Structure 1
Amino acid sequence: MPSAASKTDAGNFFEDFTLGRKLVHATPRSLTEGDRALYTALYPSRFALQSSDAFAQACGLPSSPLDDLIVFHTVFGKTVPDVSLNAVANLGYAEGRFLKPIRPGDSLRAESEVIGLKENANGETGVVYVRTKGFDQSGATVLEYVRWVMVRKRVKADPAPAPVVPGLAKAIAAADLVVPDGFDVKGYDFALAGAPHRWGDYEVGEKIDHVDGATVEEAEHMLATRLWQNTAKVHFNQHTESKGRFGKRLIYGGHVLSLARALSFNGLANAFQIAAINGGTHVAPLFAGDTVYAWSEVLDKAETSNPGIGALRLRLAAVKNRSAEGFPLKTAEGKYEEGVILDFDYWALTPR
């Protein structure tokens, strides 16, 4: 007779991953206006297109889409039980594209494929690379991205597979960005959006200090991990993490990303949609009580298939417990400066 324990799942350890393994993630999730409201409660996000049906309809859209990072967090959360339940840290992202706007009433599910494996020198952990796709209720792909995560080994002495590190593009080509169908810039109200700055007002190399800071509270972080159904032990379980490397729970890296994106409104209010994730690194941990500041650098500019919309390639940097003054990122030796917690490279769509 099988034991009761055989019915439970302790999650995958590094040894459980094999190259090419397909993972169908459980628990599809229907998104509602409640998700929009909770997202706004958690992060100081003020982008007009994601806040108002009337604003979106004036721009030729049927209604206001949900924030792109709601979609990202929802899909990401589906993957956690299979990919990163036993993670030490989520390390980075690449080759991400947002392919279809999501609105209240849409349901999302996710699948991943293991595309790379590499044991770490300590023999206690390894890095797992997965390509994840999110689908809506019709089966259409709405989001795709690669991420890599450091996962604990079950037994240090277990043999490791030959290392495979996938080659990843440094950036999504501007020609591959998906822009909203029917978007008409003539209906875009810059006063209601909160700033007058168009695509042509930004210059490559320009840096923008977003000025504002946001202190992270334990309750907010726990609400967010539950909202996205993110059950990774490093974020969710103080009992286990009190004995871990830091002695306390880590703030979910996506929480940092959403805070930094929301803070970027002050200076990039008209960068209304994330179109692609070129790359991202969670540089250092964040804990409850820390305060997050952010700044951006314009890396590139491109035209899109819609003559009314331009694309800005932006580097979004988040720092903790220090302002963005001086735009700290890396030292002369190429190491990240003290306090840098996020280095995120993405394409944003902006009215021309």
Structure 2
Amino acid sequence: MEFRRTARVAITAAATVTAFATAAPVIAASASTAIGAALLARRPATLFWSAITATAVSVSATCLYSGGDDNRTGPWWFAETVALCALLFGVTARLPVTRALPAGSALLAATAVSPLRLWLRLDPPSPPGELALLTALWTASGLLAVGAGLYRRGHARRRAGAIEAARRAQRVALARDLHDFVAHDVSGIVVLAQAALHVGETNPAQAMDALRRIERAGLGALSTLDRTVHALHTDGPAQPPAGLDTLTELLDRFADTGSTTAITSIDPSLSGLPPAPAAAAHRIVAEGLTNVRAHAPGALAVRVTLARDGADLLVELANDLPARGRLGLRAREHGGLGLAGLDELVTALGGRLTAGPDADGGWLLSARIPLATGEDRA
């Protein structure tokens, strides 16, 4: 970075010395000012005032130039025009609208009127047709610089929007992972802690057993949290989503952190499912088990069924009529993504999610997901 700045300063100095040695002083001053502003102005505040200064010097040169110094002045006038267009591009692309509008308008006007140097004080002046053509060409050059700046500005805005959208999607994915997996373990820890408090005085051995199970569940929750946070700091490919192969571990943790029995029925033909429906099935089971613990703490058993139904994957969780007198989770202020997040996920895969009382008086969570999702069919 320092080398680039040194090079720009050296180019500006060399251009200034050469311009005053070969061109009319007025043109040399305006050209060197415009070149220096285009090369050295990088910060927005510096860019604004450099543009204003270059505009003032250029307009002054247009008003004061009276010819002379043969044709060596022409290239410096052209160099000044290129530098003014570069400044116009930078002002349009980088400055806030409140500053880009006045500075850009002034630069465009200075560029457009610079051909008047061939008419105002020259004797004889340039023919009107030649002057009109040069004015049109210089104006078009300025407008092209404005157009390029606007395109760059829009591209930067779209890029910033895409980055923000990606960050938002990442935050949503993190929140979903934390809710689906960590909340499952933490809710079990809460149930075990409540149970330990309930039996601590009357049955210390059972309370100690609950504390050991709390320790295992807490370590599992920390491991899940570590994996989730680690994914945010990894530049490589994302870790594959949890699927049916991790359901056994999930159900074991559920059984280890509560008294509700999980009765599992998984169709063997479901091995090798596509990643999208397999990950969705894992999330549905995790959310369903968490809801059983949170909202039906008295349930004696929960039936977890995964089966192939034609071209669909059927996932069902049904808990029986809750018994009385069991401990449950106290109400939380924020319940996480829950069924609304599951419904959004299943719908995105072309499936359907239902939840409500079943015929036996318990609660049934059911999801039907096409085994061939959009990307799998492609």
Same fold (TM over 0.5): no
TM-score between the two structures when normalised by the length of structure 2: 0.20
TM-score, length of structure 1 as denominator length: 0.21
Higher strand share: 1
Q: Which has the higher contact order (CA 8 A, sep 6+)?
A: 1
Larger Rg: 1 or 2?
2
